């Protein structure tokens, strides 16, 4: 057992990252739990406990980054993209020696960890966008998350951007940002592109795996595949539209992008910035820069662990 450390769980739609986090926010070790299709709460809980045991971290304080609304009084999450966990007493079930686990929204967890690395996060106004299975959005003001409802910044990842409402996100919203600019959306669109022969690279991926993953689309785009690059460009368009709205609503000094899709790098962020600037009020664009998260895809784990260590 590591003295002064905690366990941070970052729950995602397809998997959960479990990390051993030091008191100063360093990731010491980690384990990934893949959520089996159709798994119910008892099975998922057993997998989480096994991951904690594999890290030799039983009994340490636990923090949970949950992908939905938070009911802190009851120590549970609601309205998430992992319905099997909704409404269950997860904080009590994963209690360490210090008592029930800390539970907070996953976007807030990532943003709290990332804010420590940016002056705008420590002293100003920082918006963080986590691009994964869904789209998480958190606002940090002088180092603390701004919460409007349900222990979150509302549902800012579901801001409506597509008037055609062609697609529905996994939580049931049509035309929202998550329905067109998430890993799940990229998998859907990549698989379609492969099926109609518009991308040889994605077609090869589909032939080998039966479907096209978001990571495969990202790899193909970074390797120069025109079809995959077109999908990434479309996603940048949607995100730029959302950024313009978030700027008008929250007036951030800095917008940080993290999550699995941040593997696309700063050129992708620059595409988003160009689209956003074309739609934003000029005085808002002038003092708000966009950048990649420094903690990458580990921010949620680290933030959850730090929450467990915060009185």
Residue 115 domain flag:
no
Q: Which residue has the tokens 């662990």?
A: 305
State mean pLDDT over 246-268.
95
* Both structure tokens of 141: 């003001």
* Cα dist from 196 to 126, 193, 224, 280, 283, whole Å: 41, 5, 19, 36, 43
What is the share, in percent, of the chain residues with pLDDT greater than 90?
85
Nearest alpha carbon to residue 303 among 162, 155, 105: 105
pLDDT at 103 over 90: yes
Give the mean model confidence (pLDDT) for residues 280-307.
94
- Structure confidence at residue 244 (pLDDT): 97
Average pLDDT of span 253-275:
95
Residue 98 pLDDT: 61
Considering the domain boundaries, does residue 32 fall inside one?
yes
pLDDT at residue 1, as a whole number: 54
pLDDT of residue 210: 87
Residue 201 is predicted with a pLDDT of 94
| Inside any domain, residue 104 | yes
pLDDT per residue over 134-153, tens digit each? 999 999 999 899 999 899 99
Whole-angstrom Cα Rg for the chain: 19
Residues 129, 153 contacting (CB under 8 angstroms): no
pLDDT at 60 over 70: yes
User: pLDDT tens across 146-187, in order?
Assistant: 999 899 999 999 999 999 989 999 889 999 999 999 999 999
C-alpha to C-alpha distance for 163 and 55, rounded to whole angstroms: 47
**What's the CA gap between 106 and 302, in Å, rounded?**
11
> Are 270 and 305 members of one domain?
no
Q: Is residue 1 part of a domain?
A: no
The 10s digit of each residue's pLDDT in 10-49 is 998 889 999 999 999 999 999 999 988 899 999 999 999 9
Same domain, 86 and 175: no
Range of the domain at 150: 120-293
- Same structural domain, 18 and 138: no
The C-alpha atoms of residue 47 and residue 45 are separated, in whole angstroms, by 5
Structure confidence at residue 125 as a pLDDT band (50, 70, 90): very high
Residue 97 is assigned to a structural domain of this protein: yes
* Token pair for 205: 């991926």
153 and 92 belong to one structural domain: no
Whether residue 161 contacts residue 241, with contact meaning beta carbons closer than 8 Å, is answered with yes
- Predicted confidence at residue 99, as pLDDT, reads 74
**Cα dist. 19→31, 34, 235 in Å?**
6, 14, 30
Number of independent structural domains in the chain: 2
Under the banding of pLDDT at 50, 70 and 90, the label for residue 115 is very high
Sheet harboring 6-11: ordered strands across? 27-34, 15-21, 6-11, 62-66, 102-105
């Amino acid at each position: 057992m590591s003295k002064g450390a905690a366990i941070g769980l970052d729950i995602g739609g397809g998997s959960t990252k479990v990390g051993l986090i030091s008191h100063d926010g360093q990731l010491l070790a980690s384990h990934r739990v893949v959520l089996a299709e159709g798994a119910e709460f008892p099975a998922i809980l057993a997998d989480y406990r096994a991951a904690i045991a594999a890290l030799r971290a039983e009994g340490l304080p636990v923090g949970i980054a949950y992908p939905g609304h938070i009911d802190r009084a009851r120590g549970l999450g609601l309205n998430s993209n992992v319905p099997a966990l909704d409404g269950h007493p997860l904080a009590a079930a994963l209690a360490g020696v210090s008592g029930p686990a800390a539970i907070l929204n996953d976007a807030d967890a990532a943003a709290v960890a990332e804010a420590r690395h940016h002056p705008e996060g420590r002293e100003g106004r920082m918006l963080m966008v986590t691009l994964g299975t869904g789209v998480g959005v958190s606002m940090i003001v002088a180092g603390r998350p701004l919460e409007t409802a349900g222990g979150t910044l509302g549902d800012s990842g579901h801001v409506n951007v597509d008037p055609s409402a062609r697609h529905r996100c996994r939580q049931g919203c049509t035309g929202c940002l998550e329905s067109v600019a998430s890993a799940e959306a990229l998998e859907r669109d990549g698989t379609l592109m492969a099926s109609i022969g518009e991308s040889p690279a994605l077609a090869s991926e589909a032939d080998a795996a039966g479907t096209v993953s978001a990571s495969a689309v990202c790899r193909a785009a970074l390797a120069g595949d025109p079809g995959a690059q077109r999908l990434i460009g479309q996603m940048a368009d949607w995100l730029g539209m959302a950024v313009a709205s978030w700027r008008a609503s929250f007036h951030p000094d800095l917008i940080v992008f993290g999550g699995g899709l941040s593997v696309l790098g700063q050129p992708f962020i620059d595409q988003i910035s160009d689209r956003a600037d074309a739609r934003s009020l000029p005085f808002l664009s002038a003092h708000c820069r966009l950048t990649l998260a420094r903690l990458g895809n580990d921010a949620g784990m680290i933030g959850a662990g730090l929450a467990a260590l915060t009185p």
